Chain A
Amino acid sequence: EAGVTQFPSHSVIEKGQTVTLRCDPISGHDNLYWYRRVMGKEIKFLLHFVKESKQDESGMPNNRFLAERTGGTYSTLKVQPAELEDSGVYFCASSQGWAGEAFFGQGTRLTVV
């Protein structure tokens, strides 16, 4: 069974540019989460989808971040325009039901220069 996959694995962009991260959850997992880890800090929640609906986006830093989940399948996270402080590793995770045993993708390491 395929796990959670994320693309790209690395991205280096200049301040002011736009970047779109993609996540393909485990098939059948209705819950999809985006997290971010800034160096030396804990993994912080960004938002949660249940199928195609945003259940909770309280962790989104600001309106430069836009997440979508088309048809309840894959999800994208767009950062526009990117700022230096957006650098970090963006993890996507998915889970089945409410139990919260989330499975993580390998992450996208974003560097804004």
Chain B
Amino acid sequence: RKEVEQDPGPFNVPEGATVAFNCTYSNSASQSFFWYRQDCRKEPKLLMSVYSSGNEDGRFTAQLNRASQYISLLIRDSKLSDSATYLCAALSGGSYIPTFGRGTSLIVHP
């Protein structure tokens, strides 16, 4: 079983829609989680960090469910510019090495 798993998608949604992705992790010792956004042929860019139950930044909300070992990313009022691949990463306590999932592709269409 992979350490961090994501549904690769693509998730195809209209502008203005709300979309949510999940990311499951297998290492129960994982303490910190991150969502990165990666545009085609570009580097991943940190979108949001999640250290406790969740985090919110504008239209983006990340939630952590430790019991079920997953984090989610909710995007409200989707914009065309939100189209990208969203990578989830997990960091275990005492580890310096984020482990990445494969990413979820989001396509927002007019």
Assess the A107–B96 pair: CB atoms within 8 A. Answer: no
Near A by CB (< 8 A), chain B positions 43-60 give 43-46, 49
Contact code string B9-53 (vs A, CB < 8 Å = 1, else 0)? 000000000000000000000001010100001111110010000
Question: At the interface with chain B, which of A11-19, A69-77, A92-100?
Answer: A92-100
- Given B2, B46, B101, which contacts A102 in the complex, CB threshold below 8 Å? B46
Count how many chain B residues have C-beta atoms less than 8 Å from C-beta atoms of the other chain: 25
> Are A99 and B32 also in contact (CB < 8 A) when A42-B100, A43-B87 are?
yes
> Which range contains the number of A residues in contact with the other chain?
20 to 34
Contact code string A52-77 (vs B, CB < 8 Å = 1, else 0)? 00011000000000000000000000
CB distance from B98 to the nearest CB of A (A): 5
Using a CB–CB distance below 8 Å, which chain B residues touch chain A?
2, 4, 32, 34, 36, 41-46, 49, 87, 89, 91, 94-103
Using a CB–CB distance below 8 Å, which chain A residues touch chain B?
4, 31, 33, 35, 41-45, 48, 50, 55-56, 91, 95, 98-107, 109
